[in-house]
Amino acid sequence: ISYEAEPYRIKAVEPIKRLTVEQRKGAIEQAGYNPVLLKSEDVYLDFFTDSGTGAMSDRQWAALMMGDEAYAGSRNFYRLENTVRRYYGYRHVVPAHQGRGAENIMSKMLIKQGDFVPGNMYFPSTRLHQELAGGTFVDIIVDEAHDAQAPGLFKGNVDIAKLSALIERVGAERIPYISLGATVNMAGGQPISMANMRAVRTLAQQHGIRVVLDACRSVENAYFVQQREEGYASKSIAEILLEMCSLTDACTMSGKKDALVNIGGWLALNEASLYEQASNLVLVYEGLHTYGGMAGRDMEAMAVGIEESVQQEHIQARVKQVEYFGHRLAACGVPVILPVGGHAVYLDAKRFLDHVPLEEFPAQRLAVELYLASGIRSVERGTLSAGRNVTTGEPNRPTLELVRLAIPRRVYTQSHFDFAVEAIASVHRRRKELRGLRLTHEPKFLRFFQARFELL
Ligand code: F0G
């Protein structure tokens, strides 16, 4: 299993340390057996998220000095606007403090009470904003996406038959837009193919329905298209990204992923009337339409980050690093979702802890054990993250019960991954010793962030 050498060298380092086993026991108990509630200082390798955790380049750090912190009309906004136009191709850009800020505006603007929003699997914040705006999310992803063991190069694809059936059932006028994720986070970072996006586009156009892209990991998606889809091998990442975006009407973006910054986001679209609405709503929730919750310097760093994100060496090393980690784990017999996705390796907790019932949160328990055993932080993506149905209050029952090990961009080296592989494989060897968890505190929204547990 080969490792693609990094296309950068290290110019600044941040020391990290590993607590003793006893200290880790104390820390996770205090955190209510929820790794989200650990102090970052108590974590050795932090695979909690790839969001906002990347390392900026020297050019991005230099860009911070170019911040124009004017309240209105900052030059950094125009730089960002031009960069988004150039690489994503939309006409209008509205900045936001991060992805969910953009989702809030998009949802408020387009969704009416009683609407349906089909999507290739949900993402918690995206779905919640759709629901808060009065919509009902409908999952239209291909069945394989719900099966951790199914093969498939594009497990993020939309099932066109499911989409047609929904349009037939509720009528196009009650579908404000189709929400497309690329890649699909909750399915394991799986990509959607260009051909599938085109098919969605065609069907949507026939019915006058908009397509809105969740663009936060679309550069990673573009890399998979280049590697896996016929006809794209000789196209650049930038060309593929532009083509993907051209098949949609608008996007929301969390700059904390592909765009290599610690904070920031935007939405982008083509219709002038929608732009007017969005740039009015942004004033209410984020800030003026030329900063939207970001400092000028952050917009500058994001513009540079977008340019770097589409470079072949960067994205190739990025995705291959994730792949190396996943393939090494699989070679040790650890159940991971295959093919490995773009931003994270997902452990299949249903198989890893097949003796722990779903009511006892096996994925959460596994995340706790990885921390106890090695100081690695990961995040549950299963029963806990799926939350409850907003109307009935019943727990949602996802088919996937996963632990996500998300890889920050340009942060860890091969030896960190080798360490993590050994640690996870050793937990796997003694998995039968583990019991589940009992939920002791459950917040109302996005419960996985603040829930607390006790060990059974
Ligand atoms: N869409 C997707 C697919 C995401 O993964 C995220 C964030 C968002 C939207 C929201 O963006 O955090 O900037 O408000 N995902 C992070 C994660 C939190 O860990 O996967 P945000």
Supply the CATH number for residue 192's domain: 3.40.640.10
Cα→Cα distances 434→316, 402, 430, 456, Å: 37, 16, 8, 9
Residue 394 is classified by DSSP as P
Q: How far is the CA of 79 from the centre of ligand 1 (A)?
A: 24
| Residue that the structure tokens 């009065």 belong to | 134
343 lines ligand 1 (CB under 6 A): no
Which tokens in the block code for residue 148? 């951790």
Last residue of one domain, picked from the residues 309, 329, 357: 309
Give yes or no: residues 350 and 414 share one domain: yes
Could you tell me if 301 and 329 lie in one domain? no
Ligand 1 centroid–CA 260 distance in Å is 13
C-beta 51 within 6 A of ligand 1: yes
241 and 348 housed in the same domain:
no
127 pocket-lining for ligand 1 (C-beta < 6 Å): no
Residue 384 Cα to ligand 1 middle (Å): 17
Same domain membership, residue 208 and residue 165: yes
Residue 203: per-residue pLDDT: 98
- Nearest residue by C-alpha to atom 21 in ligand 1: 99
Cα–Cα dist 182/55, whole Å: 22
Best CA proximity match to 114, nearest among 130, 136, 98? 136
3-state DSSP: the chain helix, strand, coil percent, rounded to 5?
45, 15, 40
298 and 213, same domain (yes or no): yes
Q: Residue 355 C-alpha to ligand 1 middle, in angstroms?
A: 31
- Sequential pLDDT tens for the chain (456 residues): 899 999 999 999 999 999 999 999 999 999 999 999 999 999 999 999 999 999 999 999 999 999 999 999 999 999 999 999 999 999 999 999 999 999 999 999 999 999 999 999 999 889 999 999 999 999 999 999 999 889 999 999 999 999 999 999 999 999 999 999 999 998 899 999 999 999 999 999 999 999 999 999 999 999 999 999 999 999 999 999 999 999 999 999 999 999 999 999 999 999 999 999 999 999 999 999 999 999 999 999 999 999 999 999 999 999 999 999 999 999 999 999 999 999 999 999 999 999 999 999 999 999 999 999 999 999 999 999 888 887 888 888 888 899 999 999 999 999 999 999 999 999 999 999 999 999 999 988 888 899 999 999
Q: How many independent structural domains does the chain possess?
A: 2
In a domain, 286, yes or no: yes
User: Among 281, 309, 337, where does a domain finish?
Assistant: 309
User: Beta strands of 229-378 (E only): which ranges?
Assistant: 250-254, 265-269, 344-348, 376-377
The answer to the question of residue 2 being in a domain is no
Question: Ligand 1 atom 12: the closest Cα is on which residue?
Answer: 99
Whether ligand 1 lies within 6 angstroms of the CB of 98 is answered as yes
Q: Give the model's pLDDT for residue 18.
A: 95
- Looking up residue 26, the CATH number of its domain turns out to be 3.90.1150.10
In this structure, what token pair is assigned to residue 199? 């098919």
β-strand pairing of 344-348 with 452-455: unpaired
Q: What distance lies between CA 421 and its chain's CA centroid? A: 22
pLDDT of residue 393: 86
Tell me the C-alpha distance between 75 and 70, whole Å: 9
Say whether both 232 and 294 belong to one domain.
yes
Pocket test for ligand 1, best of 254, 258, 285, 384 (most atoms within 8 A of CB): 254
Query: From the alpha carbon of 102, which atom of ligand 1 is closest?
Result: 14
- Residue 439 sits in the same domain as residue 387: yes
Helix or strand holding residue 453 (H, E): strand 452-455
Identify whether 158 is part of a domain: yes
User: What's the CA-to-centroid distance between 285 and ligand 1, angstroms?
Assistant: 18
380 in the same domain as 292: no
In a domain, 9, yes or no: no
Q: What is the Å distance from ligand 1's center to 234 Cα? A: 30
Is there a domain that residue 11 lies in? Answer: no
Ligand 1 nearest-atom number relative to CA 100: 14
Give dist(CA 233, CA 308) in Å, integer: 20
Residue 357, classed as helix, strand or coil, is: coil
50 CA closest ligand 1 atom index:
19
**What ligand 1 atom has the least distance to the C-alpha of 49?**
19
Let me know if residue 411 belongs to a domain.
yes
Instruction: Decide: 409 and 318 in contact? Cβ < 8 Å.
Output: yes
Task: Mark whether 256 and 326 lie in a shared domain.
Answer: no
Separation in Å, CA 30 to CA 27, 36, 299, 380, 455: 5, 12, 37, 18, 12
Question: What is the Cα–Cα distance from 90 to 239, expressed in whole angstroms?
Answer: 14
Residues pairing with 265 in the sheet: 96, 254
Residues 210, 104 within the same domain:
yes
**Among candidate residues 16, 19, 18, the one with its CA nearest the CA of residue 53:** 16
Measured from the CB, is residue 378 less than 6 Å from ligand 1?
no
Q: Which domain holds residue 275?
A: 58-309
Write down the pTM of the prediction: 0.95
97 and 135, same domain (yes or no): yes
Given a contact cutoff of 8 angstroms between Cβ atoms, the answer to whether 244 and 221 are in contact is: yes
pLDDT (0 to 100) of residue 434: 97
Asked if residues 378 and 35 have their Cβ atoms less than 8 Å apart, the reply is: yes
Q: Residue 5: inside a domain, yes or no?
A: no
The reply to whether ligand 1 has any atom less than 6 angstroms from the CB of 256 is: yes
Task: Give pLDDT tens digits for 302-323.
Answer: 999 999 999 999 999 999 999 9
Q: Is 242 exposed, middle or buried (0-12, 13-18, 19+ CB in 10 A)?
A: middle
* Residue 54 CB–ligand 1 contact under 6 Å: no
DSSP state of 5: P
Confidence (pLDDT) at 124 = 87
Closest atom of ligand 1 relative to the 255 alpha carbon: 13
Task: Tell me if 46 CB under 6 Å of ligand 1.
Answer: no
Inside any domain, residue 106: yes
Atom of ligand 1 nearest to the CA of 406: 19
* Cβ-proximal residues to 203 (8 Å cutoff; 6+ apart), any chain: 160, 163, 164, 167
Q: Which of 287, 309, 331 is the last residue of a domain?
A: 309
Q: Do 250 and 340 belong together in one domain?
A: no
Residues 251/213, Cβ–Cβ less than 8 Å: yes
Cβ-proximal residues to 439 (8 Å cutoff; 6+ apart), any chain: 361, 451, 452, 453
